[in-house]
Structure 1
Amino acid sequence: MEVSLYCDEVLSGKTEVDKVYETENVLAYYHTRPFYKVHIVVIPKKHIPLLTTLQDDDMELFIELMTVVRKVATKTESEYGACRVITNLGAYQDSKHLHWHIVSGEKR
């Protein structure tokens, strides 16, 4: 099984993060090595490798995940005037744990 940075480091508590928003099943936090002026990551606490591997029984979690993405994106857009909401698949996705990036500002 491939190592998941999010499970092994963030959710385990090995790597401390600056939390933005948290529910029972979802965590949003500032990226530990940001690529943008504002760089927030939103992850489900359950390990799901990819958007395309979501199962029918994950749909309630997916709705909760997208609700958190919407709330964080709304706040980011309000504070900075604009933001991008990004997820990656295949070779573009370094960590095989479903996650969304909410970014704003110039790339670092």
Structure 2
Amino acid sequence: MDCVFCNIANGEIPSKKVYEDEKILAFHDLDPKAPVHILIIPKQHIASAWEITGENSGIISYIFEKAPQLAKELGLAGGFRLVNNCGNDGGQTVQHLHFHLLGGRSMEWPPG
């Protein structure tokens, strides 16, 4: 399998890391859409939200526990947005489950 996010998680492709532990990796997005834009990925390959099951769903709650901690560390006291795109119509471009943590400006709704 040739997955760019798996390669980043394995250290085969460099990234500007924000946080890493045995379960997840958070790193700066190469094409930021806000002053702060990081990606949070599970190290385990899960292609998308379509593939979340009872066996692997614990990683989602773990990411949601870590996201506010990361936002605080990144100085996002005014709030942040946490986004997951699923499937082609949902805007997913990398087939590895990931969340965009965005902040540092007021977020519009609906997003553009």
How would you bin the TM-score normalised by the shorter chain? 0.7 to 0.9
Deviation at 1:105, TM superposition (A): 4.0
For the pair 1:87 / 2:88, whether they are aligned, the reply is: no
Q: Which digits, 9 at most, give the CA deviation of each residue in 1:24-60, with x for residues without a partner? A: 1111111133232211100000000111211211122
Matched letter for residue 54 of structure 2:
D
- What TM-score, normalized to structure 1? 0.79
Structure with bigger strand share is 1
Deviation at 1:82, TM superposition (A): 3.1
Deviation at 1:95, TM superposition (A): 0.4
Count of matched residue pairs: 103
Q: Which of 9, 12, 16 is 1:11 aligned to?
A: 9
Matched letter for residue 43 of structure 2:
K
- CA–CA distance in structure 1, aligned partners of residues 58 and 80 of structure 2: 25
Gaps of 5+ in 2: 106-112
Q: Which digits, 9 at most, give the CA deviation of each residue in 1:33-92, with x for residues without a partner? A: 3232211100000000111211211122222222122322344422xx232111101111
Structure 2 counterpart of 1:27: 25
What are the equivalent positions in structure 2 for 1:71-86 lying under 5 Å apart? 71-76=69-74, 77-78=76-77, 81-86=78-83
Matched letter for residue 72 of structure 1:
L
Structure 1 counterpart of 2:44: 46
SS of equivalent residue, structure 2 residue 85:
coil
Contact 1:21 1:68 in 2 (8 A): no
Matched letter for residue 5 of structure 2:
Y
Q: Which of 54, 57, 64 is 1:56 aligned to?
A: 54
- Taking a change above 3 Å as real, the CA distance of residues 15 and 35 of structure 1, as seen in their structure-2 partners, is farther
Q: Which moved more, 1:38-47 or 1:81-90?
A: 81-90
Gaps of 5+ in 1: none
- CA–CA distance in structure 2, aligned partners of residues 99 and 57 of structure 1: 18
